[in-house]
Chains A and B, each alone.
Chain A
Amino acid sequence: MGHVFTIAWKDLRSELRTKESINAAAAFSMVILVLFSFVLDIAGDAREFGGGLLWLVFAFAGALVLNRSFAREQSNDCLDALVASPLPGWSLFLGKAIANFALLGIVELVALPVFGVLFNANWLRFPLWTLITCALATWGMTVIGTMFSALTVNLRLRELMLPVLVYPMLIPVLMAAMQLTTALLGGEGVAGDDWVWVKLLIGFDIIFTSLSLALIDVILVS
């Protein structure tokens, strides 16, 4: 288990030194927020569409970070060095997923206040639920993104295939997160009908984390 954090720390350290994908993701999220502001009438619609908009921003910006995950191992054939080592495949996957989760979290922490300001949305009203929603949904995105990053790392058209494969798989997570966030931003909190979405997020996370851990070795050894 210690190796999981060794890998996570390695990825985090590499990324935080260059800040390449984090800067790109943060900048991109700002751009999308501005673009969407032309579409929505801020006064009325932010309540209704704010939740949806926010997670679209996170999904698009997050893809930039997730794509790099295994791609960064490609230069210098570092992936071969790791796979040939005694490090188990699941350790490698989990370490990378944790690092990606942290990086996505940073992007979200940057985007949320800006979103709050630009769209007059109070996202601090239910801090615990907001945190839980973001954590569950972000982990869902991370697991799928990291797994598919590993899957596509050796492909010719990696940059094209990753979004094509990942976004449809993320739709359930995004739907649930959007519904919950809309409820939270609208001031009602999580009640009644919304529990289905929470359960969906938890189920999604558990199922796909297990599936990824089980199948990662198939992907890594050719």
Chain B
Amino acid sequence: MKNKILMGLALASGVYLVRNLYIILLQLPDEAAQGAIYRIMYFHVPGWITSFTAYFLAAVASVWYLVKRDPKADEYAVALTEVGTIFTMLGLATGMVWARIIWGVWWVWDPRLTWAFICFLIYAGYLMLRKTVDEPGQRGRIAAVVSLFAFVSVIITYKSIDWWRTQHPGAVLSFRTGGEQRIDPAMEGMLFHNWFALTAFAGVIMMLRLGQERMQRELDALRRYTHSL
């Protein structure tokens, strides 16, 4: 039954993404200043939102683990962090392509991009750390602490737009600018559509990952048990 739900969700998000892609590429007009390349924003911005949301939920799962020591919480933490990291990489890649076209360079060391790269490094370190600890209880504890430390850095990333002057485009989404309509409504609508699609896709990846972790846990326990016989 669970598999059927997963397949259904995967199919639905796939269809949704394809529909969005169709609209993005063929129906929406070019943006005034940027031309065609601006369309990458439809993946770049929602990608980042999904990524940060995943990191936030991973931090929540980590707190949950520290309080309850429930192994499921640790499974959620790792699955969410992996999803977050995938979307961070997507965000960096799309951002670099956009920057190459618009600014002429693949990378600039402005605060926002720098912090985004730092996020990637930190969570990549988290994932590497998990691989080096064999014992699940110890792994969960250590990873939970690192996840909390990591998330503080993510918060600083989010705030960086307000703290430093930056070359990165400023806030354009209406909920960030306080209602002022800086962006064409159709484009803003599509941003949210794609955000839903990407989030659904993220959910599918997460469920797959959770299933994997659960099986791995059982395998480890069985292995230990047979060793002790």
Contact = CB atoms under 8 A, between A and B. Distances in A.
Asked whether the complex places CB atoms of A and B closer than 8 A, the reply is yes
A86 to B, nearest CB: 22
Interface stretch (A67-75, A96-104, A163-171): A163-171
A211 B66 contact: no
Contacts, number: 63
A218 to B, nearest CB: 6
B36 interface: no
B170 interface: no
A211 B132 contact: no
Given A155-B133, A157-B132, A164 B145 contact: no
Interface in A69-124: none
Interface in A202-220: 207-208, 211, 215, 218-219
Given A161-B132, A211-B152, A169 B145 contact: no
A168 B125 CA distance: 9
A14 interface: no
A156 interface: yes
Contacts of A164: 125, 128-129
Interface size class of B (residues with CB under 8 A): 20 to 34
B208 to A, nearest CB: 27
B132 A156 contact: yes
B149 interface: yes
Nearest to B138: A222
Interface of A: 144, 147, 151-152, 154-157, 161, 164-165, 167-169, 171-172, 196, 200, 207-208, 211, 215, 218-219, 222
Q: Which 9 A-B pairs have the closest CB atoms?
A: A168-B121, A168-B122, A165-B125, A157-B132, A164-B125, A215-B145, A171-B118, A155-B132, A168-B118
